Structure 1
Amino acid sequence: MLKKYSSPHFRRLAYAIALSLPVCSTAVAEPFTFYGKLNVSYQYADEGEGRFSDLKSNSSRLGVKGEVALQDNLTAFYLLEWQVDLADLSGDDNIKSRNQYVGLRGNWGEVSLGRQDTALKMAQGKLDQFNDLEGDIKNLWRGENRPGDTITYRSPKWQDLRFTGTFIAGEKDGPSSYSTSLTYGDAGLKSQPWYLVVANDSNVEGYDIQRLGGQYKLDNWVIGAMAQRQKRESDGDSRKGWLLSSAYTLQQLGLKLQYQELEQDWSLSAGVDYPLAKQVKLYAFVTRQDKQELPDKDWLGLGLEFRF
């Protein structure tokens, strides 16, 4: 029974978690929190080469995070997160690195070093109503990057304004790149009913990107909009796109609709969420994607998400 869990990646993950466990009982702060999100859907798909059904793990993840208070109002923090596949992959392919960094926080903001979502990616907040599913904005737009070799600075909030900057070191002879964002309001739409963002990538993964977006909550409605311009550095190819998203709470049901466009390419998604508990929900979605140079694609899915 133990043989199938003996891959080097699994042993390293288990060792990292086990190594952190003793700290929990000795430190005054909370240096260790184990968390995860498990998301699996059964999908009926037509991706241009025939129809088929499939079970898919949608960016399921496990992680550990923590922080320790230091002197002079400083706090040291870390996060280690891995993507796991509950449906298809096994062995070494089952575990992939996600955000993994260490940093310091003070009255001046926070600095983190490691592998991390860029400032532009983080700044989208919850504008993408179909994040991690087939309607995820990454399936049409560039800019959803999580590079290594990053240094990220996040300022404290000034009158609901916050600046975030990511510096990505160039490897060997490669150029360095940058990602920045300026946000206003509350990305979770809890302390404030609005959220605005302007963000920019400079030669990140070979693209220059400008992104402008906003989201507003009114009673049971949440309405969002985003525009993007992306230019490929290698040949100067430039494309523009926009997105509209909405969500409506009807008793216990969460109804969602999202349309995204990039020049002549587009994606349309509709879905419904049904919470079974605070951490568990059932959901269903349908997505159609139309790209000019590829066959049309359609997905119909029913899934379960568990957070802890």
Structure 2
Amino acid sequence: MNTIKLSLVAAALSTVFLPALAADVEIYGRAHLSLDSLDNGVDSGTNVSSNSSRLGFRAKTELDGGLEAFAQIEQNIRFDEGAGSWASRDSFVGIRGDFGTVRLGQFDTPLKSIRGKVDMFGDRVGDIRNLTRTSTAGNTNANIGNVFDERFKNGVHYQTPKFGNFVFDIHYTPHNTEGATVDNVRESYSMALSYEVSGFYAAIAYETFEGQNDLDPNALRLGAYYDVTSDFRVSGMFQSASDIPGGDRNVYGLGASYKLGDYILRSQYYVAAENDVADSAASMLVVGADRRLGKDLTLYVAYGITSNEDAAAFRVSAGGRDTQMAAIAGENSSGLSLGIQYNF
């Protein structure tokens, strides 16, 4: 990703409060848009979608004692409709050193980060979140509890330094909503242990939060990828979610990608198993191909279909996408997507 690095000297502060302080500031972003033909089994349409497009600012400053202060502000940018929301994505401040890293703010949970590592179609048609974020028909509201790929508000996160290629993360928020609290409603925890070396990644995470309607949703997630060769990668993920609307549900699947010159062929297949509601299972298959035009620009095509049983209403166009088509119980959701992604 190309960056613009600026050297800022806080002259006014240095003369009054601090010795000379210099910060490295990085401006970065992503423009990711797609032209989609979406169909939910009853209605269909052609749309342009902005998919997790963003603009961000990062800063870091070296401190005495081998410490480093850092901060980030990142926001969603709607290139398709000319809109955005300031600091709506990962935004935080923190400090790192030999002890590890501590940060405060709003950012992805350790459990969510696993999916980002193994998802072959992240922010595209066929994103795994189509199955991990929704429940049975009538329970597709993200606020009811079956949501395990979100950012915690008011979060405090500690990450250990690497020890033998292992890293442990713990993420806590006393109040995962807006405003002040006196009773810690929506208290949330997420933690993960990960192992990563060149060509191999594996992690396990557990997340729980205080939900609504006497439900305290929790999930155990395992994810991994392995580079069989320098061109061929296989990945997989398993999630077991409990105390969610409709009853406990497992989601699992596999993906693969293969580099062929400037092209990458990719596919994945995931299943949302039946919960306490009869005929509530679904499966999602997606295939696609990327064309790299340099290291910063990618063109791609993807086709995905989610097959819903009679009481299931899972989408194919959700997960990191700003334009989605609602699913209809018992009907298949499908999408053909032509996309462009430019990192800067």
TM-score above 0.5: yes
Offset at residue 177 of structure 1 (A) = 1.7
For 1:246, which of 256, 259, 265 is the aligned residue? 256
Q: Which letter does structure 1 place at the counterpart of 2:234?
A: I
C-alpha distance 284-204 of structure 1, shift in aligned 2 (>3 A):
farther
For 2:288, which of 258, 266, 271 is the aligned residue? 271
| Aligned residue number for residue 306 of structure 2 | 289
| 1:258 and 2:268 aligned | yes
| 1:72 and 2:82 aligned | no
| 1:116 and 2:107 aligned | yes
| Aligned residue number for residue 23 of structure 1 | 8
For 2:232, which of 211, 221, 225 is the aligned residue? 221
Where do 5+ consecutive residues of structure 2 fail to align? Answer: 12-19, 133-146, 176-180, 274-280, 313-328
State the Cα deviation string for residues 63-82 of structure 1 (Å, max 9, x = none).
00021000111100011000
| Aligned residue number for residue 210 of structure 1 | 220
For 1:131, which of 95, 105, 122 is the aligned residue? 122
Q: Which letter does structure 1 place at the counterpart of 2:125?
A: E
Offset at residue 53 of structure 1 (A) = 0.7
**Count of residue pairs the alignment pairs up:** 281
TM-score, normalised with respect to structure 1: 0.85
State the Cα deviation string for residues 83-126 of structure 1 (Å, max 9, x = none).
011113x45x6656011000000101000000010111123342
For 2:202, which of 196, 212, 224 is the aligned residue? 196
Provide the rounded CA distance (Å) in 2 between the counterparts of 1:96 and 1:64.
10
SS in 2 for 1:132: coil
| Aligned residue number for residue 165 of structure 1 | 170
| Aligned residue number for residue 151 of structure 1 | 156
Provide the rounded CA distance (Å) in 2 between the counterparts of 1:22 and 1:86.
29
Q: Which letter does structure 2 place at the counterpart of 1:160?
A: N
Provide the rounded CA distance (Å) in 1 between the counterparts of 2:85 and 2:40.
24
| Aligned residue number for residue 17 of structure 1 | none
For 1:176, which of 177, 184, 187 is the aligned residue? 187
Deviates more, 1:28-37 or 1:49-58: 28-37
For 2:53, which of 54, 60, 73 is the aligned residue? 60
Offset at residue 244 of structure 1 (A) = 0.3
| Aligned residue number for residue 189 of structure 1 | none
| Aligned residue number for residue 135 of structure 2 | none
SS in 2 for 1:124: helix
SS in 1 for 2:111: helix
SS in 2 for 1:40: strand
| Aligned residue number for residue 90 of structure 2 | 99
Offset at residue 302 of structure 1 (A) = 0.6
Q: Which letter does structure 1 place at the counterpart of 2:25?
A: F
SS in 2 for 1:23: strand
Provide the rounded CA distance (Å) in 2 between the counterparts of 1:25 and 1:31.
12
State the Cα deviation string for residues 248-287 of structure 1 (Å, max 9, x = none).
0011110000111111212111110101111001111001
Is contact 1:24–1:32 with CA below 8 Å preserved after alignment? no
| 1:304 and 2:297 aligned | no
Q: Which has the higher contact order (CA 8 A, sep 6+)?
A: 2
Provide the rounded CA distance (Å) in 2 between the counterparts of 1:195 and 1:307.
24
TM-score, normalised with respect to structure 2: 0.77
Identity among equivalent pairs (%): 29
SS in 2 for 1:299: strand
Offset at residue 129 of structure 1 (A) = 0.8
Offset at residue 172 of structure 1 (A) = 3.6
C-alpha distance 307-24 of structure 1, shift in aligned 2 (>3 A):
farther
SS in 2 for 1:147: strand
| Aligned residue number for residue 13 of structure 1 | none
Offset at residue 203 of structure 1 (A) = 2.0
Where do 5+ consecutive residues of structure 1 fail to align? Answer: 1-19, 187-191
Offset at residue 214 of structure 1 (A) = 1.2
Q: Which letter does structure 2 place at the counterpart of 1:136?
A: D
Is contact 1:274–1:283 with CA below 8 Å preserved after alignment? yes
Is contact 1:178–1:204 with CA below 8 Å preserved after alignment? no
| Aligned residue number for residue 278 of structure 2 | none
Q: Which letter does structure 2 place at the counterpart of 1:120?
A: L
C-alpha distance 135-74 of structure 1, shift in aligned 2 (>3 A):
same
| Aligned residue number for residue 17 of structure 2 | none
Provide the rounded CA distance (Å) in 1 between the counterparts of 2:334 and 2:236.
23
